[in-house]
Amino acid sequence: MLLANKVAIVTGAAGGMGKAISLRFAAEGCDVAAADLNLAGTNETLNEVKKLGRDGLALQVDITKSAQIKDMVEKVIEKYGRIDILVNAAGTLFAFADLNNMDHKESIGNISEDEWDKLIEVNLKGCFLCCKYAAPYMIEKRYGKIINFSTSGAIHPPAVAPHYNSAKAGVLGLTYDMACELGPHNINVNAILPGPIRTSFYDRIMESLSDEEKEAMFKMMCKDAPLQRCGTPEDIAGVALFFASELSSYVTGVPLLVSGGIPLMPRL
C-alpha cells in the first residue's frame, strides 16, 4: 500500500473530488480526517472509509474561520499525534449558496465587491489557513505532503470567472512559496489544476435539465480536450495519490494540469 498507516486531512471531503481522494487514500492504507461544511456528507465519507478498513474523523469545518481550522488540526493531532498529508480540496466557484439563481459574470465590471471577497476568502484564505495550522506539526515531524487545489483557469482562464481564477492563481503563488519554505523540513508542496471534471456539483446546478441536455453540456465542456471526455473525481484522486505518496518524494512546487490535454488543441 502506498499510504500505509499515514494520516491525512482532506477538506471538501463531503463529495466530488475530496470524497474520491479520501476513499483512494483509505484504499491505500491511510486514515482520513474528512472535513467539510456538509457534516452529513463527511459522515457518509467516513462510513465508506471505514468500510475500506481504515479509521478517521468526520469534521464540520468552515475553512474561512481560523478558530475552526485550528480546532480541526488539534482534533487530528489529539487522535493520531501527527498529520502526514494535507489536501486542500475545499473551494467554491460561486459566492453565494443559491445554486438555482446563479449568474455567470463575464465582465470584471459586473462582479460585486462582496462576490470578489467571498471567492478570495474561500479559495485562497481557506487554503492559507489550513496550511498555517497544519504545517508546524509537519515541521515538527520533519515530514509532510501538502496538496493544494488550483484550477486550469488559473493559467488558461476562460472569461467567465475572473474572481475564481484570480483566487486559484493565488493558490499557485502560495504553493510555490511554501515549497521553498518547507522543503528544508522534508515537506513537499504541490498543486493540482483540474480541468473539466464531472462531479455532483454540476448535477446540482443542472438539475432542471434533462439527461440529454446534461450530456450535451458535458460534451461541450470537453470538446477541446484531446482525450475527448470529461474527467472524473477518480482521475483527480489518482494524481493526489501520486503527490501524497513516496512516488513523488523528489517533486515539490509543481502545478500539475489534470485536464484531458487542455489547452492542447486537437488536430482537425
Could you tell me the pLDDT band of residue 98, with boundaries at 50, 70 and 90? very low
Please state, rounded to an integer, the average pLDDT across all residues of the chain: 91
When pLDDT is cut at 50, 70 and 90, the band that residue 101 belongs to is: very low
Q: Are residues 248 and 222 in the same domain?
A: no
pLDDT digits (tens, 9 = 90+) for 47-72: 999 999 999 999 999 999 999 999 99
What's the domain count of the chain? 2
Answer yes or no: do 31 and 87 share one domain. yes
Is residue 266 a part of any domain in this protein?
no
- Contact between residue 32 and residue 13 where contact means Cβ atoms under 8 Å apart: yes
Structural domain harbouring 222: 199-230
Whether residue 211 lies inside any domain: the answer is yes
For the residues 100-117, what does the mean pLDDT come to? Answer: 73
Flag whether 102 is in a domain.
yes
Q: How many CB atoms lie within 10 A of CB 214?
A: 16
In this prediction, residue 94 has a pLDDT band, given cuts at 50, 70 and 90, of confident
Q: What is the per-residue pLDDT for 109? A: 85
Mean pLDDT check: name the lowest of 16-20, 192-196, 206-210.
206-210
- pLDDT (0 to 100) of residue 103: 47
Q: Do 140 and 254 have their domain in common?
A: yes
CB 11 within 8 A of CB 35: yes
The band of 161, judged by pLDDT with boundaries at 50, 70 and 90, is: confident
Residue 159 has pLDDT above 70, yes or no: no
pLDDT at res. 102: 44
The whole-number average pLDDT for the span 1-23 is 97
CB 133 within 8 A of CB 69: yes
Residue 264 lies in a domain: no
- Residue 2 included in any domain: no
With 80 as the cut, is the pLDDT of residue 99 above it? no
Domain check: are 179 and 237 in the same one?
Answer: yes
More confident residue, 5 or 110: 5
Cα of first residue to Cα of last residue in the chain, in angstroms, is: 42
Do residues 28 and 54 share a domain?
yes
Q: What is the CATH number of the domain that holds 30?
A: 3.40.50.720
State the pLDDT confidence band at 160, using cuts at 50, 70 and 90: confident
- Secondary structure of the chain as H, E, C letters: CCCCCCEEEEECCCCHHHHHHHHHHHHCCCEEEEEECCHHHHHHHHHHHHHCCCCEEEEECCCCCHHHHHHHHHHHHHHHCCCCEEEECCCCCCCCCCHHHCCCCCCHHHCCHHHHHHHHHHHHHHHHHHHHHHHHHHHHHCCEEEEEECCHHHCCCCCCCHHHHHHHHHHHHHHHHHHHHHHHHCEEEEEEEECCECCHHHHHHCCCCCHHHHHHHHHHHCCCCCCCCCECHHHHHHHHHHHHCHHHCCCCCCEEEECCCCCCCCCC
Domain annotation covers residue 265: no
pLDDT of residue 209 exceeding 80: no
Give 10's pLDDT tier (boundaries 50, 70, 90).
very high
Q: Domain check: are 60 and 154 in the same one?
A: yes
Q: Do 158 and 221 fall into the same domain? A: no
Positions annotated as catalytic residues are 164
85 and 103 in a single domain? The answer is yes
224 and 252 together in one domain: no
Beta bridge partners of 255: 191
pLDDT for 268 beyond 90: no
113 and 149 together in one domain: yes
Beta strand 56-60 pairing with 31-36: parallel
Q: What percent of the chain has pLDDT over 90?
A: 73
Q: Are residues 111 and 24 in the same domain?
A: yes
pLDDT band at 203 (very low <50, low <70, confident <90, very high): low
Q: Which residue has the higher pLDDT, 128 or 100?
A: 128
127 grid coordinates? 487554503
Mean pLDDT of 226-231: 88
Residue 163 lies in a domain: yes
How many whole angstroms separate alpha carbon 51 and alpha carbon 32? 12
In a domain, 212, yes or no: yes
Cell 464531472 locates to: 198
Same domain, 52 and 70: yes
